[in-house]
Amino acid sequence: MHRLEGKVALVVGAGSIGPGWGNGKATAVTFARQGAKVFCVDRNKDAAAETASIIAGEGGQAAAFTADVSKAAEVEAMVKACLAAYGRIDVLDNNVGIAEMGSVVDVEEAEWDRVFAVNLKSAYLAMKHVIPVMIGQGGGSIINISSVASIRQVGISYVSYGASKAAMNQMTRTTAVEFAARHVRVNAILPGLMKTPMVEHSAGLAASYAKGDVEEMWKKRDAQVPMGHMGDAFDVANAALFLASDESKYVTGITLLVDGGLTCRS
């Protein structure tokens, strides 16, 4: 039995920055494989279309939409388009994020503002427009993709990223309490060190870990994890599937670690 049969999932950040599987792309495809109709949103038109095409090629239902979700008008248009296509929104997966390297001394004000707009404001705007829809239809599930960097320093300096994700955690908890009685569940996933195209294509991360050597960066990240290896996008997608499904109907306000034991290591 498909775990999301009859549900509509709006996945924000459903594309991938490069070849392979990013968290949003894997989540959109996983949701579709479990019976959901998926509205695939990305600022990159081709990336959103690729994910929707994969879903259609597997016999699922998906539509692609292009939006910069740090902008209120585009988020509002995104929600209206999803409702026009599928009539409801049962699941919202907020899966966008960027990282700028640097401490509070190093990071520029414009970089700080951009990170918070993409990582935090986008989720606020999506929830602002989706929650009334969910209330009107009797409930829904919201999943915010945070990071272990929101709760600990992971060995590299990107304070704006960690701070924006920490704020997302608290926004998740607060919103979960405020709308629990209306049957809108709000949870966050905190991925650890993941092997995804976003990490691979981040020159700043590669520079911070290994002076730009991506293969050496992978080795160092593997060594940080108690399990001995990084996670992949489907580890995040499968956690999101649980939170999207009715199996988690009594779960709200949590920050679910998907990190191979990283945060247990002193």
Task: Give the model confidence (pLDDT) of 91-128 as tens digits.
Answer: 999 999 999 999 999 999 999 999 999 999 999 999 99
Kindly report the pTM of this predicted structure.
0.95
Asked whether the predicted pLDDT for residue 210 surpasses 90, the reply is: no
Q: What is the C-alpha to C-alpha distance for residues 72 and 125, in angstroms, rounded to an integer?
A: 6
Torsion-angle region of 59 (φ positive above 0: left; ψ -120 to 50: alpha; else: beta): left
Give residue 217's pLDDT: 92
Asked whether the predicted pLDDT for residue 161 surpasses 70, the reply is: yes
Give residue 265's pLDDT: 84
Give residue 266's pLDDT: 59
Closest CA to 61 of 82, 77, 44, 92: 82
Asked whether the predicted pLDDT for residue 203 surpasses 80, the reply is: no
Question: Among all residues, which ones are annotated catalytic?
Answer: 161
Q: Which two tokens stand for residue 243?
A: 């939170």
Give residue 171's pLDDT: 98
Give residue 206's pLDDT: 82
Closest CA to 3 of 250, 252, 256, 242: 242
Query: How far is the CA of 139 from the CAs of 49, 52, 120, 244, in angstroms?
Result: 28, 25, 23, 12
Lowest mean pLDDT of 108-122, 125-139, 171-185, 200-214, name the range. 200-214
Mean of per-residue pLDDT scores for the chain: 96
Asked whether the predicted pLDDT for residue 170 surpasses 90, the reply is: yes
Q: Where do the domains of the chain lie? A: 8-198+233-248
Give residue 150's pLDDT: 97
Asked whether the predicted pLDDT for residue 229 surpasses 90, the reply is: yes
pLDDT confidence tier of residue 135, bands split at 50, 70 and 90? very high
Q: What is the C-alpha to C-alpha distance for residues 127 and 208, in angstroms, rounded to an integer?
A: 33
Give residue 259's pLDDT: 97
**Ramachandran angles phi, psi of 105, nearest 5°:** -80, -35
For the domain spanning 8-198+233-248, the CATH number is 3.40.50.720
Asked whether the predicted pLDDT for residue 200 surpasses 90, the reply is: no
pLDDT confidence tier of residue 204, bands split at 50, 70 and 90? confident
